[in-house]
Amino acid sequence: MTEYRVVFTPGQIQERVRALAERISADYAGKRLLCLVVLRGGFFFAADLIRHIEGVDLQVEFIKLQSYAGKNSSGRVRSREQLPRVAGYDVLVLEDLVDTGLTLSNLHEAIVAQGPRSLRYAIVVDKKARRKIPFECEYVAFDVPQDKFLVGYGMDDEDKGRCLPYIGEVV
């Protein structure tokens, strides 16, 4: 059985999610916001975050992307379905992590091609140490400067560990 060392506790995660929700609520106050959740990892974060956003007219859509093969990025991003219509919307992409930047860069191009009013990203974990393509996110719960393989709170190790209430490092 795989063991995990806790990196961020459930309490730390919820504290950061609430803080991000406050910022997002202020930034989009009175606006109509389309939250585009990247499945499956972004689901846990999205469910918690959306419940704390106030004063914003929210709509939620989902997209399923795949770029990992085992513990490493495959370098290719595959979409399991068509991107929802985002033209004219303020769009906030909700994702569990960004590391190489390949997945979100590809998604960014597809969204921009549709002409959203605005486009921003809310991410649980930002692993800049693994960047292959420069990519910045406006709302980041945790910066992880080391190249750690993390699981929990949506992130998985070949579908294991995704439902853990904490974020842990594979040991």
- Residues catalogued as catalytic: 99
Between strands 118-126 and 139-143, the pairing is parallel
Which are the contacts of 73, defined by CB distance < 8 A and separation ≥ 6? 67, 99, 100, 102, 103, 130
DSSP H or E stretch at residue 79:
strand 72-79
DSSP H or E stretch at residue 110:
helix 102-114
DSSP H or E stretch at residue 103:
helix 102-114
